[in-house]
Amino acid sequence: MSDEQNAPSQAETAGPGAQRGKPAVVIGLFVLFLAMIGYGIVAGNVFDNYENASNL
Amino acid sequence: MHFGTVGGRKPSSVISTRADKDRGGEGRNTMKVTTTELRKATQLFALLWANSFFGAFFTRKIYKGPLKSTCVPFLNCHACPTATFSCPVGTWQHYMATHQFPFFVIGQLGLIGMLVGRMVCGWLCPFGFVQDALSSSTRQPLQVPRAWTYLRWVVLGLLVIAIPWITTEHWFSKLCPVGTLIAALPWVLWNPTDPDTGAKIIAPGSFGWLLAAKIAILVAILVVSRVVKRPFCRIFCPLGLFFSFFNKVSILRLEVAPGCDGCDACQKLCPVDIKVYEDPNSSDCIRCLDCTSCAHVTVGLRLPLGMPAASDRNQQDSPSP
């Protein structure tokens, strides 16, 4: 068996904590960004200054 | 290009690259298009999509309708005569200058980053297309020292966040080479008469050091693009830096099969000159997927809710020749 075949996989090296924790972080970030979009729309936090956008 | 399946078998290809065809590509759904050619098409489409207000040639004013309240996810100056959407970095600076948090923009960019990482850089950014087109295919590209890539942090931290906050001026936009290419130069060369005032849009004598500086920056980046792969993306782009935070956690993933022997074919194909087998989801990767023409590199999806990682599934399969 070659060294490459003996090399540990990502799943083996990541550890059980990383396997459990990462989905929670990913889901949390999705919820956070969706909430920011929602708040931005509700609060009118969208771009409105393009009339002065030219920076010549 | 190979796309990972959810079912656990060897990833099947959706689009077969020219390299696939050269290797035989038996049993694959072969379309005679390379990933690089497909990217060029999507980059040109993005350029047209973001700059499709051709009515500007008649109104001689920029578009100010409701679409301008939202951003495209790549650098595209909203001062371009035909721009239909806003620039995310320009919008970000606007909120810094008005001392507000850009909830909508950060949410929009973050959501895209969580889905596909930096794929926007590889597949949609028109300035990436320009740099790719200028890159010499015959000459060995010069390497970018790792330390130089940290300049992106300076650009984001100072020109996009801190200086606009303090001065209320959009200093990244003032120097942005994309803005120079698609907004400043077209306006300067066209310079129509304002239908309301009867005066020229850009008054005579207003061409100052700032215009000279931004043209010099643009020319320098275009010249360097001949010998360095995507210099702006790797050294200066604050939007690419923001998206790079998400390559490690995005749903779209690159995987390298265990049989990879490190031949560096992926590095030769890579527009940002990285060795994919060292870190398939490197923050420098722009997810162009050109490297997937190598049979050892696959792209797959990893969902956060109990879905097994593509790498875990692929380990049971040997790479195709």
Assess whether B168 and B295 both reside in one domain. no
Domain finish residue from B227, B244, B261: B244
CA atoms of B246 and A14, how far apart (whole Å): 18
Assess whether B23 and B66 both reside in one domain. no
Q: Is B251 helix (H, G, I), strand (E, B) or coil?
A: coil
Q: What strand order describes the sheet that includes B2-3?
A: B12-13, B2-3, B297-301, B252-256
Name the pLDDT band for B10 (thresholds 50, 70, 90). Answer: very low
Does the CB of B108 have a partner CB in chain A at under 8 Å?
Answer: yes
Domain finish residue from B183, B214, B244: B244
pLDDT at B198 over 90: no
Phi-psi sector, B171: left (phi>0), alpha (psi -120 to 50), beta: alpha
Structural element, H or E, at residue B172? helix B171-175
Number of structural domains found in chain B: 2
For residue A8, what is the DSSP state? P
Assess whether B108 and B153 both reside in one domain. yes
Does the CB of B309 have a partner CB in chain A at under 8 Å?
Answer: yes
Assess whether B142 and B230 both reside in one domain. yes
pLDDT at B124 over 70: yes
Query: How do residues B18-45 score in pLDDT, each as one tens digit?
Result: 444 444 444 445 556 888 889 999 999 9
Assess whether B63 and B188 both reside in one domain. yes
Burial of B115 (0-12, 13-18, 19+ CB in 10 A): middle
Residue type present at position B308: P
pLDDT at B154 over 90: yes
Q: What number of other Cβ atoms are within 10 A of residue B22's Cβ?
A: 9
Domain finish residue from B217, B244, B271: B244
CA distances in angstroms from B138 to B135, B159, B225, listed in the order given: 9, 35, 13
Which chain B residues have a beta carbon less than 8 Å from that of A3? none
**For B90, which residue in chain A has the nearest alpha carbon?**
A53
Assess whether B230 and B83 both reside in one domain. yes
Q: What number of other Cβ atoms are within 10 A of residue B282's Cβ?
A: 18
Question: ipTM of this complex > 0.90?
Answer: no
Does the CB of B104 have a partner CB in chain A at under 8 Å?
Answer: yes
Does the CB of A27 have a partner CB in chain B at under 8 Å?
Answer: yes
CA angle (B93, B236, B234) in 5-degree steps: 135
For the ranges A5-14, B71-80, B131-140, B287-296, which has the lowest average pLDDT? A5-14
Task: Answer with the residue of higher pLDDT: B74 or B61.
Answer: B74
The pLDDT of residue B21: 42
Assess whether B29 and B43 both reside in one domain. no
CA atoms of B17 and B25, how far apart (whole Å): 9
For residue B12, what is the DSSP state? E
Q: Do B86 and A50 touch (CB under 8 A)?
A: yes
CA atoms of B252 and B256, how far apart (whole Å): 14
What average pLDDT does this structure show over B186-201? 87
Please tell me which of the candidates A5, A34, A47 has its beta carbon nearest to residue B91: A47
Q: What is the 3-state secondary structure (H, E, C) of B84-132?
A: CCECHHHHHHHHHHCCCCCHHHHHHHHHHHHHHCCHHHHHCCHHHHHHH
Domain extent at residue B153: 38-244
Assess whether B233 and B305 both reside in one domain. no
Enter the pTM of the model.
Answer: 0.81
Assess whether B60 and B177 both reside in one domain. yes
In percent, how much of chain B has pLDDT > 70? 85
Assess whether B65 and B193 both reside in one domain. yes
Query: How do residues B228-265 score in pLDDT, each as one tens digit?
Result: 999 999 999 999 999 999 999 999 999 999 889 899 99
**For A40, which residue in chain B has the nearest alpha carbon?**
B104
The helices-and-strands tally (H runs, E runs) of chain A is: 2, 0
Assess whether B192 and B286 both reside in one domain. no
Assess whether B274 and B163 both reside in one domain. no
Name the pLDDT band for B70 (thresholds 50, 70, 90). Answer: confident
